[in-house]
Amino acid sequence: MTNKELLKIEHLDYRKNRRVILHEVNLSIGTGHIIALLGENGAGKTTLMRIISGVAKNYHGTVCLAGHEEEEKRKTHLAMTDPLKGFLKSSQLNDIVVFYKKVYSDFDSERFEELKDFMSIDLSMKLSQLSKGMREKLIVALTFSRQCDLYLLDEPFNGIDAMTRKKIVNSILRWKSDDSTIIISDHFVTEVAAILDDVIIIKDRTVFTHVSADEILKKHQSIESYYESLYEGEE
């Protein structure tokens, strides 16, 4: 784990449909970390990732990744899990891989081959033939096949079985380079608790806390118990 600053967010505000989604978000993240981005449904985790990746627009404040504030340049330094909605359901997985190879110059074909074998992905299948778990494995494999500074995994464990979850966590450990940072958003941390360096919690439309996993474990039994303690008495 290194400490060079990779991502800096200052005074970020974002409104949509006349609702404040994020307010006065300030965040600083270094290189080489594995970070959990936690929060309830609708807390703004996905929105924050979409702003970092340059997909969400019309926000106020600054987002600087690897020294770049411009969206196009930020996109060259990050890989975000994409639900692949830009492809036709009849698209063959092979064609999707070709698309990634062509449009992302940092796409590592050898790494994808390894990930594909590790995740048991059959490229002759069509997108419509994939189960939720298979689709998630493909998304993670495509994301990790890029060689970037920052990986944004938006709820990669949503609705998938224990075996697939284990495979995804193992792939994170196996293919993460020392300098790259991974942010994983989720409602739960059970799957990734053991590999986390930091925890960021989004609550009340802002970054409620950004703390190291070691610090949490000094005072609490587990990251889950710490996270749950933040919501005690709210129900």
Partner 1 sequence: MMQEFKTLFGQIFKLKRKYVYSAIFFEIIATIVLSILMIFQNAASPAQTPLIASSASFFMIDLYLLFTIAKQNNQILMSQTWRLVPVSSTKLFFSSILTSIVSFLYLWLLQLVWGIFTFIPFWIDVSTTNKNFYFSGIDFSSLFNLSERQWRILIEVMIQMLLILFLFAVFIFVLSIMVRTFSEVISDFVPTSKEKLTRIISGIVLVVVIIYIIKYAGQGLITLANTGILASKNGVGNWEAIIGLLVGDVLISMADLWLLDRYVEGK
Judged by CB under 8 A, does residue 5 bind partner 1?
A: no
Which residue in 3, 41, 86, 232 binds partner 1 (CB under 8 A)? 86
If the CB atoms of residues 154 and 186 are measured against partner 1, the closer one turns out to be: 154
Rounded to a whole number of angstroms, the minimum distance from the CB of residue 90 to partner 1 is 9
Distance of CA 126 to the CA centre of its chain: 25
Judged by CB under 8 A, does residue 218 bind partner 1?
A: no
3-state secondary structure of 160: coil
Judged by CB under 8 A, does residue 138 bind partner 1?
A: no
Binding mask 105-134 for partner 1 (x = CB under 8 A): xx----------------------------
Judged by CB under 8 A, does residue 57 bind partner 1?
A: yes
Judged by CB under 8 A, does residue 54 bind partner 1?
A: yes
116: left (phi over 0), alpha (psi -120 to 50) or beta: alpha
Judged by CB under 8 A, does residue 13 bind partner 1?
A: no
| Contact call for residues 151 and 78 (beta carbons, < 8 A) | yes
Report the alpha-carbon distance of residue 105 to residue 122 in Å, rounded.
Answer: 23
Close Cβ partners of 183 (under 8 Å, ≥ 6 residues apart): 29, 35, 36, 37, 49, 150, 151, 152, 153, 200
Residues of the shown chain interacting with partner 1 in the complex, contacts defined by CB under 8 A: 16-19, 50, 53-58, 72-73, 75-76, 80, 82-88, 99, 102-106
